[in-house]
Amino acid sequence: MILAALVNGLALGAGYALLAVGWTVLLGAARLVNFAHGQLYMLGAFVTWFAISRFGLPYGVAVPVALVVVAVLGVVLQLLMTRMTLDQNIVNLMLVTLAFGYLLQGGAALLFGGDPQTIDSPLQQQDLALGAARFTGQDVLIVVLALAFYALTFVVLGRTDLGRMVRGVAEDPKLAQLYGIDAARVYLAVFVFSAVCAALAGAVVGPRSPILTSMGFEEVIVTFLVVVLAGVGNLVGGLVVAIGLGLFTAFFGTFFPPAYSTAAAFVVLLVVLVVRPQGLAARR
Amino acid sequence: MSALLDVADLRVRYGHSLAVDGVSVRVGAGELVAVAGANGAGKSTLVDAVAGWSRGRPAVTGSVRLAGQDVGRLAAHRRAGLGLVLVPEGKGVFDGMTVQENLRVVRPPRGTAGRPYSVDDVLDVFPRLRERIAARCSTLSGGERQMVAIGRALRAAPRLLILDEPSVGLAPRLVVEVLTHIRDLVDAGLSVLLVEQNVRAALEVADRLHLLDQGRIVASGTAAQMREDDRVAQAYLGGLGP
């Protein structure tokens, strides 16, 4: 039972991590917020499902299609918010992205219907075992992708010119212009990256359970939880906290009614914010 | 001399306040032109407007031409891409990055007419930065930070470098060091528009100087002429004549 909870928690946590990596970069490196993040996760799952069920595309092709669709949507959303972003008008950005979230949810319900759907992934049918713990190929994919995305993001932000530009714009977008950096383009790139990460999370976590167009709100709350617990912008902390949250949820669900697991996670958040306001993984 | 930078009748207004009132400035190729004046004279506002850069939202009218091209409507990063590069007063570097990262984040624009400086070229200009290359900029001294700021501007292959009060906050010995570096760059062919509150120091290195007061140019001339100007001597050099 313990081993099963451990494996389940790892997969769950890796899903949270994949969902949170984009937001961590968005909020930490670019000082941007996006409350439509959960709906982009939902769209990643639904466009994948739609590409498979309507066009008969294999799962491996449907996922990139979903990522492209959400990336294009991300471009449109960010272009609409360029002025607010350059002005770092955080309150308006929160409200506008919240509105985008509701619009995306309504649009998805019109397009895809309100019934629960299942994403047909061959990896979900692939049963694997580690001792007494059973898991699927899909769980392995989620963990591998989460680790790969965190490693990639870590290297890009720390070691490449693109990463330096993102960090420069995050520190001082006005000064960045004098370095010849087009801050609006950097914001666009970061927003699209974040949207694609959310869509990827939806596309790979989606096959684990039925998907609904109403999902997304809990996911954005979980993302927020991870980013705040880790300390805003802390990439490694984000991965550790996401995995920790997945394990906490899995173990909590093993011994207590799972319906209370989100509430329990928020109790942890409250305690952490009181004891360590800078976040669990942030350095003092 | 045909002007590399030609600023004509520039006016900058913040709300109802006119900060720069009809200023015209020309900088020739390989020339160092200084703009001097007291605090609040409008010096920084003037050069920020020339670079298309501001932390506020000023209304700017007039024309700014670089090598004959009208750049007055371009965003700051586009002007920088054309070689009109500003080092602002105060915070001119990314504190959260190392010296090397600050220098590497700038890439010389493709097809630029300015001289592209590699990171090594910058370290040749400012050898002191070589030993501080891995240090975070927040840990540098004021003089070192100013060198990084000028160095990153050189990386952008400037045709015209605008320096806003590079001597502010520096010890007198460092002021001389920084200004000497700037003069060396001009002697190597770079054009510089220098804003300086320290008129005595500006006259040491400038070819020409404009005196700005309440947003207007009140005196202009070569460095030699301005040293002889009674208004400059009385107001800024502590007495009449040298």
Condensed to tens digits (0 to 9), the pLDDT of residues A104-163 reads 999 999 999 999 999 999 998 888 888 777 889 999 999 999 999 999 999 999 899 889
For residue A248, give the CATH number of its domain. Answer: 1.10.3470
A275 vs A157, more confident: A157
Indicate the angle between helix axes A183-205 and A59-80, nearest 10 degrees: 150
**Structural domain count of chain A:** 1
Give the pLDDT score at A138: 94
Answer whether residue A264 shows pLDDT above 90. Answer: no
Look up the pTM and report it. Answer: 0.84
By the 8 A CB rule, do A25 and A239 touch?
Answer: no
- In a mutagenesis test of the A interface, which of B94, B136, B138 is the best target, namely the one with the most A β-carbons within 10 Å? B94
Q: Cβ of B109 and A177 within 8 Å? A: no
Residue A282 confidence (pLDDT) above 80: no
Domain that holds residue A178: 2-275
Q: Which residues in chain B have Cβ-Cβ distances shorter than 8 Å to A182? A: 75, 77
pLDDT grade for A90, boundaries at 50, 70 and 90: confident
Sort out which chain B residues have CB atoms less than 8 A from A161's CB and list them. Answer: 104-105, 107
Check if B97 contacts A (Cβ < 8 Å): yes
Can you say whether residue A13 is alpha, beta or left, with left for phi > 0 and alpha for psi between -120 and 50 degrees? alpha
pLDDT at A14 over 90: yes
Q: Which residue of B has its CA nearest to A183?
A: B77
Residue-wise pLDDT tens digits, B149-177: 999 999 999 999 999 998 887 788 888 88
Which positions in chain A touch B101 (Cβ < 8 Å)?
Answer: 164
To the nearest whole angstrom, how far is the Cα of A97 from the nearest Cα of chain B? 25
Q: Show residues of chain B in contact with A165, CB under 8 Å.
A: 105
| Nearest chain B CA: its distance from A21 CA (Å) | 21
Please tell me which residue of chain A has the smallest CA distance to B76: A177
* Tokens read off for A8: 């389940």
pLDDT at B237: 67
CATH annotation of B3-89+160-236 = 3.40.50.300
pLDDT (0 to 100) of residue B151: 93
A283 found inside a domain: no
Of B75, B105, B109, the CB nearest to A177: B75
Nearest CA in chain B to A164: B105
Does residue A282 lie within any of the structural domains? no
Question: N- to C-terminal Cα distance for chain A?
Answer: 37
CA nearest A169 in B: which residue?
B94
- pLDDT reported for residue B113: 78
B50: Cα within 13 Å, side-chain hemisphere: 37
Query: B105 at the A interface (CB within 8 A)?
Result: yes
**Is A119 part of any domain?**
yes
B57 touches chain A (CB under 8 A): no
- pLDDT digits over B27-69, tens only? 999 999 999 988 889 999 999 999 999 877 889 999 999 999 9
d(CA B56, CA B14): 8
Chain B residues lying within 8 Å of A176, measured CB to CB? 77
- Residue A180 and residue B156: Cβ atoms within 8 Å? yes
CB contact under 8 A, A177 and B92: no
Of B77, B97, B153, which is closest to A181 when you measure between CB atoms? Answer: B77
Task: Read off the pLDDT band of A233 (50, 70, 90).
Answer: confident
Q: Quote the pLDDT of residue B1.
A: 53
Q: What is the pLDDT along chain B (242 residues), one digit of tens a residue?
A: 579 999 999 999 998 899 999 999 999 999 999 999 888 899 999 999 999 998 778 899 999 999 999 999 999 999 999 999 999 988 789 999 999 999 999 877 777 778 889 999 999 989 999 999 999 999 999 889 999 999 999 999 999 999 999 888 778 888 888 889 899 999 999 999 999 988 888 898 999 999 999 999 999 999 999 988 887 777 776 644 43
Task: Tell if the CB–CB gap between B105 and A182 is shorter than 8 Å.
Answer: no
A218 lies in some domain: yes
Q: Which of B53, B81, B96 is facing A167, going by the closest CB pair?
A: B96
Are residues A178 and B87, on separate chains, in Cβ contact within 8 Å?
Answer: yes
What pLDDT, on the 0 to 100 scale, is given for residue B241? 40
**pLDDT recorded at residue B240:** 43
Give domain status of residue A203, yes or no.
yes
Per-residue pLDDT, averaged over A60-71, amounts to 98
Domain-located, residue A281: no
Question: How close B157 comes to chain A (CA, Å)?
Answer: 11
What per-residue confidence (pLDDT) applies to A89?
Answer: 81
**Do the Cβ atoms of A168 and B94 come within 8 Å?**
yes
Does residue B152 sit at the A interface (CB-CB below 8 Å)? yes
Cβ-nearest to B101 among A164, A176, A180 = A164
Residue A280 domain flag: no
Exposure string for A207-220, b = 16+ CB within 10 A, e = fewer: bbeebbbebbeebb
Pick from A171, A172, A180: which is nearest to B109 by CB? A180
Q: What pLDDT, on a 0 to 100 scale, did the predictor assign at position B110? A: 78
B91 in contact with chain A, both atoms CB, cutoff 8 A: yes
Distances in Å between the Cα of B229 and the Cα atoms of A30, A257, B42, B218 are 51, 87, 21, 12
Three-state secondary structure readout of B25-94: EEEECCCEEEEECCCCCCHHHHHHHHHCCCCCCCEEEEEEEECCEECCCCCHHHHHHHCEEEECCCCCCC
In a domain, A44, yes or no: yes
Contact between B139 and A193 under an 8 Å Cβ cutoff? The reply is no
